[in-house]
Structure formats: C-alpha cells, structure tokens
Amino acid sequence: MKKTTFLFTCLLSTILFAQNKQEQVLEQLDQNTQAYGEIAHKIWSFAEMGYQEEQSVALLQKTLKEEDFTIEAGVAGMPTAFIASYGSGKPVIAVLGEYDALPGLSQKAVAHKESNGGVAGHACGHHLFGTASAAAAISIKHYLDNTGTSGTIRFYGCPAEEGGSGKVYLTRAGLFDDVDAVINWHPGNSNGADPGAALANKSAKFRFHGIDAHAAGAPEKGRSALDGVEAMNYMVNMMREHVPEDTRIHYVITDGGKAPNVVPDFAEVYYYARHTTRDVLIDVFDRMVKAAEGAALGTGTTMDYEMIGGTHELLPNLTLQKLMYDNLKEVGGYTYTPEEREFAEDIAKSLNTDLDVKNVEGISEYNPIPEAGGSTDVGDVSFTVPTVGLYTATWVPGTPAHSWQAVAAGGTSIGTKGMMVAAKTMAKTGMDLFDQPEILKAAWTEFEEKRGEDFKYIPLLGDREPALDYRN
Ligand SMILES: [Zn+2]
C-alpha cells in the first residue's frame, strides 16, 4: 500500500514537473513574439520563389545556428533545402518549414490591392510557416535542455512547395527514414487541427516540335507545334467526361508561338492533374500522355514531356491529430487590437464578406473527414512517417490562399499573431511526444495499419532531378 502511494506520488510529481517546464518554455516563446515577427516579416519582404530562397534560408539557418542547431545545408540536390538538428538519439521529432513565395502576387501590407514593387508575394504565408516551425523547434530544444530529456529535434527546411515538390526529393533521398513523427502546419483563415486532406498531384510540361514556315506564303511546308498543343487540349477536355468525378485537370499554354504569320515550330502546355487517390491519378495522367501522343501524330509534330511535380495524397494520423487538437484548444486563438480590427474589416469588405471574429478568437470544431482542395508535398512525407498538422488564422476570415489579401494580412501583426498560435501548439505537441512514448507507439501502429503491409514508396515524379529552374 505504502509502495503504491509512493509510486503514485513519484508519477504525479514527474507529470507536474513536465507541465511546469512546458509552461516555462511556452512563456519564453510568447515573450519572443516580436523577434519571430521580425524574422517572418523579413522573409515576407524577400518574397523569394521556389528554389531561389537564398536569403530566407540564410536567415532561418542563422536563427537556428544561434541556438546551437547543427546545419546540413543543400541536402537532396537542392541548394535551398537544409536540415537543422539538435540533440542525439531517439526519438527523432521533425518540424517542417517552408519559405517560398508565389509569382505575380507582389502586394503591400495594406487593405487594398497595391503591388510592393516585386515579382512575387507570400500569398500562401510560407514566411510564417518557416518561422513558426523554427520557433517551435527551438522551444522544443529548450525543453530537452531544461528537463534533461534525451532525443533529437530537427527542423527540415523545405524549399519550393508551390509546384516544385521539394519534400518529395527529401523523402526520396531517405532523409525522413529515421524520424519518429513529423509536425507541420499551414497558414489559414481560421484555427483548426483536422486530419489533413490533399489531392495527389502530377504535373508536367508537354512540348511539341513542328516545322516553321511562312503562314501565308508556304503553309503547306509548315507543321504547327501550336496545333499539337490545341489538339491535345481538345482531347483532354473531352476526356473530362470520362474520368472519375473528383478528378481535377488544369492547364496553361506557356508557349504558343510568337507571331501569327510564322507557323510555330515550338509550343508548350503545362498541365496539372489531381485526384484524391494516387492510383486513379496515375491512370488519368497516363491517358493524358496518350492524348499528347495522338495530338503529335495527327498534327505531324513530335512531342516530349517533362515531369515537373508529383505528390501523394495525405495519410492522416488520428492518434497524433487528437493530441494536436487538444493542444490547440489549450493554446487558444487571439484577439484583434482596434487597428487590426479596422484592417480586417476593410479586407473583409474587399472580399464581399462579413468579418467573423469567431474564426480568429476560437478554435474550429474537429472535422474528422475534411474535403481536399489543393495538393501538398507533405503528402509524400505522411506516407513515410506519421505526420500531424494544424492551421491557424494568419489571414482575415474569408480570405482565400493565393490572393493579395493573404499577402497583405501576412505582412501585418495579424500574420504574426496567427503564426504564434501555430508555434506554441507545435512546440507543445513536440514536447508531449518526447514525454509520452506511448503516443508515438500508437501513432506507428495506426500508420502501419493504414499504409498497408505491402506499401512501397514510389515518387510520382519518377527519378528526375529537382527542377531547380522551374521558376526561371
Ligand atoms: Zn502553402
């Protein structure tokens, strides 16, 4: 009896000790809001596109190095990919960070559309993504130090999420193979931690080669590469009627010739295909390739294509997700200052919507089966390691990603406040994973069950090297 009481008291004091230390770490993180806000704002100003994120990476590496993280730079053949590591041995917990901007979306931090004078903008909030993740990794490091806990915390610097599939190359290179759990987040217009959903995605540039000629003087000598593109588009558009309902196909003609009086000898069309499951997607994509081959045959041109991106759908892990959700509820949302409120009202007006501050101050209800809209290269990671995520209100409620309104809010204190909700929730989740190995164990059981016994990781973009120049 006495022994039981003694053990119980020991256990209780261990839990209280851990809780107390966690609170200290989170308080310290909170006190650093301004410093992290400044880092995020710098990356927002750099607004560097995929595989060009040199300044953003240098700043994040410097921040992590100052906290005694060891940096492995330029991993998996990508100069702007890196791994920052602290500690040693198991478990290994990883936090993902992104930092690429989107072309054509330069925008000032104001509540009306106005270019910042650049070529790109952080319309997906990846400046906040990278910074909050670095902040979480640093906080977890403090926790390991303060409590004498053993294990490794890593920050993965993941370039070119927007179409460059950076994480696919990190996964393919085996850089997640010894990781026990992966934590990540994404900026958004409310606070929530549902199991993620994403569409598997394959993208490629189809290039047609013809014969140039005077379009009026000697048209019979020419073979139009643009005809090849148009014939392919026509066939793919007819195909839409005969693909599974949830398929998404979209394209842009990236080169259609230069002048109407010259039969173009080169034309290019850039395609995305997506579906909730990658097996369906692979089939749809193969049929698109057949359409391209048929188009070339019929127009007397030749065709080749280059895979640009390819990502898996997301494999959710409910064990980890529940932990993240509980932690998010504990961290809670935030409130606007009068100035932030005024800015938010103006942004809401520009979106023809009423401002609903519930999305900022509260936490969205747990939705066990969210619908997939976009795609993410986190998908490939989630099939390699149990992966958990959340989203927070870094944008004014109602704001769609990839809009000027997202760039604008991300450049203000609203972005910083939302980012800190994410940083704290991820830090807390990471600390819990070090404290409670039984959660990791349950997460792995669920992961292996869901992934299936004969799962083999096959990257959808094949064996190509990273498309380092895809934004040039
Ligand atoms: Zn994004």
Residue 199 CB partners (closer than 8 Å, separation 6+): 246, 248, 274, 275, 276, 281, 313, 372, 373, 374, 375
Tell the burial category of 239 from Cβ atoms under 10 Å away from its Cβ (0-12, 13-18, 19+).
Answer: middle
Output the CA–CA distances (angstroms, integers) from residue 444 to 217, 321, 324, 376, 387, in the order listed: 69, 13, 16, 22, 10
Asked whether the beta carbons of 424 and 133 are under 8 A apart, the reply is no
**pLDDT over threshold 70, residue 6:** no
Determine the distance separating the centroid of ligand 1 and the alpha carbon of 43, expressed in angstroms. Answer: 15
Determine the distance separating the centroid of ligand 1 and the alpha carbon of 404, expressed in angstroms. Answer: 14
Beta bridge partners of residue 367, listed in sequence order? none
pTM value is 0.92
Q: What is the pLDDT of residues 205-238, one digit of tens each?
A: 999 999 999 999 999 999 999 999 999 999 999 9
How does residue 3 score in pLDDT terms, banded at 50, 70 and 90?
A: low
Determine the distance separating the centroid of ligand 1 and the alpha carbon of 329, expressed in angstroms. Answer: 23
**pLDDT over threshold 70, residue 4:** no
**pLDDT over threshold 70, residue 1:** no
**pLDDT over threshold 80, residue 26:** yes
Q: How high is the pLDDT of residue 65?
A: 98
Gap between the Cα atoms of 91 and 202, Å rounded: 33
pLDDT mean over 443-469? 95
By the CB criterion, residues less than 5 angstroms from ion ligand 1 are 124
Gap between the Cα atoms of 181 and 159, Å rounded: 20
pLDDT mean over 133-161? 97
Tell which residue, 134, 120, 200, has the closest CA to residue 165.
Answer: 200
**What 3-state class would DSSP assign to 383?**
coil
Determine the distance separating the centroid of ligand 1 and the alpha carbon of 367, expressed in angstroms. Answer: 20
Give the start-end residues of each E strand in 8-162: 70-73, 82-88, 92-98, 102-103, 120-121, 151-158
Determine the distance separating the centroid of ligand 1 and the alpha carbon of 455, expressed in angstroms. Answer: 27
Gap between the Cα atoms of 142 and 21, Å rounded: 10
Determine the distance separating the centroid of ligand 1 and the alpha carbon of 126, expressed in angstroms. Answer: 6
Asked whether the beta carbons of 453 and 163 are under 8 A apart, the reply is no
**Strand pairing class (302-311; 200-209):** antiparallel
Percentage of the chain beyond pLDDT 70 is: 98
Q: How high is the pLDDT of residue 2?
A: 61
Determine the distance separating the centroid of ligand 1 and the alpha carbon of 296, expressed in angstroms. Answer: 35
Determine the distance separating the centroid of ligand 1 and the alpha carbon of 381, expressed in angstroms. Answer: 15
Asked whether the beta carbons of 309 and 165 are under 8 A apart, the reply is yes
Asked whether the beta carbons of 466 and 77 are under 8 A apart, the reply is yes
Q: What is the pLDDT of residues 268-305, one digit of tens each?
A: 999 999 999 999 999 999 999 999 999 999 999 999 99
**What 3-state class would DSSP assign to 243?**
coil
Q: How high is the pLDDT of residue 250?
A: 96
Output the CA–CA distances (angstroms, integers) from residue 409 to 55, 126, 129, 356, in the order listed: 22, 13, 14, 15
Tell the burial category of 108 from Cβ atoms under 10 Å away from its Cβ (0-12, 13-18, 19+).
Answer: middle
Place of tokens 């959903």: 197
